Amino acid sequence: MPTKLILDVDTGTDDAVALMTAALSPDLELVGATSVNGNTTIDYTTENTLRVFDWIGLPDVPVFRGCDRPLARPQAPRGMATRIHGDLLDLPPVSRGATLQSGHAVDWLIETYLASDGDIVLCPVGPLTNIAMAIQKEPRILEKIPQIVIMGGAHDHGNVTASAEFNIWLDPEAARIVVNCGRPIRMIPLDATHRALVSSEDAGRLRALGTPAGEAAARFVLKRIDGYDATQPMPHRPGAAPVHDALAVCSIIDPAIVTTSFIPVDVEVDAELSVGRTVCDFRFRGGKPANVEFATDADEPTFVAMLLEILGRTA
Ligand code: RIB
Ligand code: CA
């Protein structure tokens, strides 16, 4: 029986690979996607999400537009991720009928979860603004969310500051709400995604699949490698880059692809140097119970093999 999931995305290049993986995997049933402000503005993250589904021939996957700014902070300066994501993805405009659904993403999340059988995994791979707002607006959805699989966070090193990973940093108040919501949470942080890199040779293999998803993934991986090599090269791995969001989706298909520790995790919201840091209490010094399954490693060969198998499929 495929696992049902909803993806909350700030579509950018790795979100796009995650969307295609979720839509094409026979082990998953993608109920819908909600867009959020993050890698670029909500207009672009929404348009990009529609273009992805249209390109792979699945224009009927429901897409809903979400929040256009963080819960409680000013909008982040634009252009931070341009080299790795850009604004518009390198995909053609919609031509197969992919259409934005009416209504706000937060309201659709609430309606969908309240009406569900409690069997839809929630997979946010952008800032957690939509998720936090849905929880605050209608706390009853929590009992209907079986698991939240978040791409975000960092213990060893950040990517947008020394301490913080982008998704958490952009809206730390939202992240704190979600991390403390009481539901089962698996966090796929940089500690794992930076150990599951995709290389330019892998991009060649994706292109050689000859499928729409393979071609798009090759384009996005090569753009990411260019951006990472230019702005934040992976130590000892030039010519390779993380595809963070796709690892979160693959961990739903095969949880063994990541190594996790069940620990107390919270989010710093009020510190000059470390705002947005996921504070990981591996030694339980704070006396709090564990609340997050925090990934500390990942199986790169299996991850790449999963991408090649799934993105070799067509709708
Ligand atoms: O830090 C990586 C995360 O930030 C990824 O989800 C990427 O798409 C951006 O949203
Ligand atoms: Ca993302």
Given a cut of 90, is residue 78 above it in pLDDT?
A: no
Ligand 1 atom with minimal separation from the 242 CA: 2
Q: What is the pLDDT of residue 77?
A: 79
- Average the pLDDT over 88-116 and give the result: 98
CA distances from 127 to 74, 234, 274, 276 (A): 14, 23, 17, 11
Q: How far is the CA of 264 from the centre of ligand 2 (A)?
A: 24
CA dihedral 243→282→127→246, nearest 10 degrees, is: 20
Q: Which residues line ligand 1 (CB under 6 A)?
A: 10, 12, 14-15, 38-39, 125-126, 151, 159, 165-167, 244-245
Ligand 1 atom with minimal separation from the 81 CA: 9
Interval 129-152: pLDDT, tens: 999 999 999 999 999 999 999 999
Probe ligand 1: pick from 244, 247, 250, 277, max atoms within 8 Å of CB?
244
The DSSP line for 59-127 is: TTS-EEE--SS-SSSPPPPTTTTTTTT-SS-SSPPP-S---EEEEEHHHHHHHHHHHS-S-EEEEE-S-
Kindly list the catalytic residues: 244
Q: How confident is the model at residue 82 (pLDDT cuts 50, 70, 90)?
A: confident
Closest CA relative to residue 278, chosen from 268, 289, 288, 264: 268
Residues 6+ apart with CB under 8 A from 238: 229
Q: What is the pLDDT of residue 36?
A: 98
Closest CA relative to residue 135, chosen from 196, 182, 81, 193: 182
Q: Which contiguous run of DSSP H or E holds residue 28?
A: strand 28-35
Interval 261-293: pLDDT, tens: 999 999 999 999 999 999 999 999 999 999 999
Helix (H, G, I), strand (E, B) or coil at 142: helix
Return the number of other C-beta atoms located less than 10 Å from residue 282's C-beta: 12
How far is it, in rounded angstroms, from Cα 84 to Cα 222?
9
Domains, the chain, ranges and CATH? 3-310 (3.90.245.10)
DSSP state, residue 274:
T
Given a cut of 80, is residue 79 above it in pLDDT?
A: no
How far is it, in rounded angstroms, from Cα 313 to Cα 309?
7
pTM: 0.98
Ligand 1 atom with minimal separation from the 167 CA: 4
Closest CA relative to residue 152, chosen from 285, 257, 251, 52: 251
